[in-house]
Amino acid sequence: DDEALASPFVKCLLRLIRTQDSFGLWEGHSDAELLAEFIITKQQQRAVPFGGDPDPDALWRLDMFYTAVALAIEERSGVSTSPTIEMKPVGASGGWAFCRDVHRFGFETFRKLAEAGTKLVDDATAAIEA
């Protein structure tokens, strides 16, 4: 887990999360504590009901993850980027057609979180440099 928390993508995600803390409530929290909400075990995923609107926390995780991907791509490539889909409840977002199981968005471990983000950043920067 320490290696995953030290990865450049996870560091980028942590910076992004910490910028959301305008009142300083998370100042004393460790990196692992801040990322704990992204860790969803298979048992927890099965317990999440599929119907209805996604939980606001799930939408927040999705937004933070893909915004961090865009930010990491920008930092590595020097090309200005931004996420293209904003997820909203009540079917107001066309992004749901592309994001299956939004209700269950998360990762089993910090390592899987780091690997998923790093792969997206690596693939995008390779495409930019090609």
pTM (predicted TM-score) = 0.85
**With contact defined as beta carbons under 8 Å apart, do 35 and 13 qualify?**
yes
| Rounded alpha-carbon distances, angstroms, from residue 128 to 34, 72, 110, 116, 122 | 31, 13, 27, 19, 10
In tens, the pLDDT along 69-109 reads 999 999 999 998 877 666 665 554 554 445 667 778 899 99
Q: Which two tokens stand for residue 93?
A: 């977002």
User: pLDDT by residue (tens digit) across 24-57?
Assistant: 888 899 999 999 999 998 888 888 776 667 788 8
2-129: which CATH number, 1.10.3100.20, 3.40.50.300, 1.10.357.10, 2.60.40.1180? 1.10.3100.20
pLDDT of residue 99: 61
d(CA 22, CA 40): 26
User: How large is the average pLDDT for residues 16-21?
Assistant: 94
For 60, residues 6+ apart whose C-beta sits below 8 A from its C-beta are none
Rounded CA separation 85/77 (Å): 21
- Please give the Cα distance from 19 to 7 (Å, whole number): 19
Give the per-residue pLDDT at 96: 47
pLDDT at 91: 53
